[in-house]
Amino acid sequence: MNNEKVHNRHCPPCGQSPSIVFIITRADDLGGAQVHVRDLAAALVEQGEQVLVLAGGDGVLFEELKARQVPCRKLEELIHPLQPFRDWRAFKEIRAVLQELKPALVTTHSNKAGLLGRLAARILNIPVIHTSHGFLFSGRKSTPAGRFYRLIEKVGALAASKVVAVSENEFEIACSLEVIPAHKMRVIHNGLPDMGEEYRADPLLEPPGLVMVARFEKPKDHETLFKALSGLKNRAWTLRLVGEGSGLQPAKRLAEQLNVSDRVSFLGMRDDVPAILASAQVFVLSSKREGFPISILEAMRAGLPVVSSAVGGTAEAVEDNQTGLLFKPGEARELQTALARLLDEPFLRQQMGRAGRRRFLEKFTMDQMVEKTKALYSELTVYDDR
């Protein structure tokens, strides 16, 4: 492989093509899709698989992959915003790279890379699996945007060998709207590697610290969280927010307007999320739309009780009144009530946190996800015999 073409990144050993190529749109973000790709690719590399991650842009994902000895390569034309002419060049670039590498299997992640990667692999007759980390048509059944996204996903589904949904909820939505045939889909919940005792939280500590890990974008709905907390000023609490995005400055202004800014810390993008979670007492997620959020699994792994909006597959991770509390998305009063209950009852926080960690170990470990994923890979290809 030409070393100049890998842009100073790792590449598979000389003379060897990767058996599995991951494609994702953005390397400058570390959201749920990027964490999924990072951890799954790293687990496969540890098992001796020849893996390569292709991504657009540059940034934190490549650094995370490099730290885990995962080969990666930048796609020059693949960018996040919709730009038809640039996207056409990105498609041709992906097709050319796959033609050069001749992998046994392609696995795509995120929406633009998912469509372009599936089409390129299909043309080259390479088996391709797309993992949806949240269908964009979910919750948009009657809107023009929803119809557009359904059409795009129908096209993508035609090109895919299989489509992985990260929750039963996503599977049911795609089937009920007749976007993807059930026989083409497989549900594989996200999983995470476990971590040491130093990353366990103590929910009993007072005053309780709240934490939310999410991009500052409209679907994450920080507004509802701030409104809920504005009604809890008579209680002791602090809130730390991990993430960046276009909604960061508006969120800061809203916190000022609601007079909660003195208790809210905006931490930006962080690479020490497990440590931040370990120092918290309650995890909260106020999203209006989710697939199957990895941040909730991170909180459960740390032994934190979870307060989350009941969207997407969150109820498949969080058992209401057992490992946490669920509320209707956008309902600040419901969120306020749930938070008040946990702020007032430290032993309930501890009980739910312990139950959440047990559930994580039973259902959502990295080993479980890798086993199911490799079984699917083996159905489509003999990549493991290369």
Domains and CATH numbers, the chain: 3-193+366-385 (3.40.50.2000), 197-363 (3.40.50.2000)
Write out pLDDT tens, residues 27-52: 998 888 999 999 999 999 999 999 99
For the chain, percent of residues with pLDDT exceeding 90: 83
pLDDT of 7 higher than 60: no
Which pLDDT score is estimated for 138? 77
Which pLDDT score is estimated for 382? 54
Average per-residue pLDDT in the chain? 92
**Cα distance between residue 334 and residue 327, in whole Å:** 6
**Cα distance between residue 85 and residue 298, in whole Å:** 39
User: pLDDT band at residue 186, thresholds of 50, 70 and 90?
Assistant: very high
Which pLDDT score is estimated for 384? 43
Q: How far apart are the first and last CA of the chain?
A: 17
User: pLDDT band at residue 218, thresholds of 50, 70 and 90?
Assistant: very high
> Which residues are 282's β-sheet partners?
210
Write out pLDDT tens, residues 307-325: 999 998 999 999 999 999 9
User: pLDDT band at residue 5, thresholds of 50, 70 and 90?
Assistant: very low
Residue at token pair 């504005």: 230
Which pLDDT score is estimated for 45? 96
Sequential DSSP letters for 9-54: S--SSTT---SEEEEEEESS--SHHHHHHHHHHHHHHHTT--EEEE
Write out pLDDT tens, residues 254-306: 999 999 999 999 999 898 999 999 999 999 999 998 889 999 999 999 999 99
Is the CB of residue 151 less than 8 Å from the CB of residue 136?
no
User: pLDDT band at residue 6, thresholds of 50, 70 and 90?
Assistant: very low
Cα dist from 52 to 19, 24, 112, 133, 156, whole Å: 8, 11, 18, 20, 22
User: pLDDT band at residue 9, thresholds of 50, 70 and 90?
Assistant: very low
pLDDT of 91 higher than 60: yes
Q: Spell out the residues 6+ positions from residue 55 whose beta carbon is closer than 8 angstroms to its own.
A: 23, 24, 25, 26, 27, 61, 62, 72, 73, 74, 75, 78, 113
Across 330-358, average pLDDT:
98
Which pLDDT score is estimated for 4? 36
Which pLDDT score is estimated for 11? 52
Cα dist from 161 to 8, 91, 181, 230, 368, whole Å: 32, 18, 12, 49, 22
Cα dist from 44 to 15, 89, 92, 186, 381, whole Å: 19, 30, 28, 20, 16
Is the CB of residue 26 less than 8 Å from the CB of residue 55?
yes
pLDDT of 117 higher than 90: yes
Write out pLDDT tens, residues 133-168: 888 887 677 788 888 889 999 999 999 999 999 999
Q: Give CA torsion, residues 105, 160, 55, 33, to 10 deg.
A: -110
The alpha helices in the chain, defined as continuous H runs, are 32-46, 60-67, 84-101, 111-123, 144-159, 168-176, 222-230, 248-257, 273-278, 294-302, 314-317, 332-344, 346-363, 366-380
Here the tokens at position 346 are 């430290």
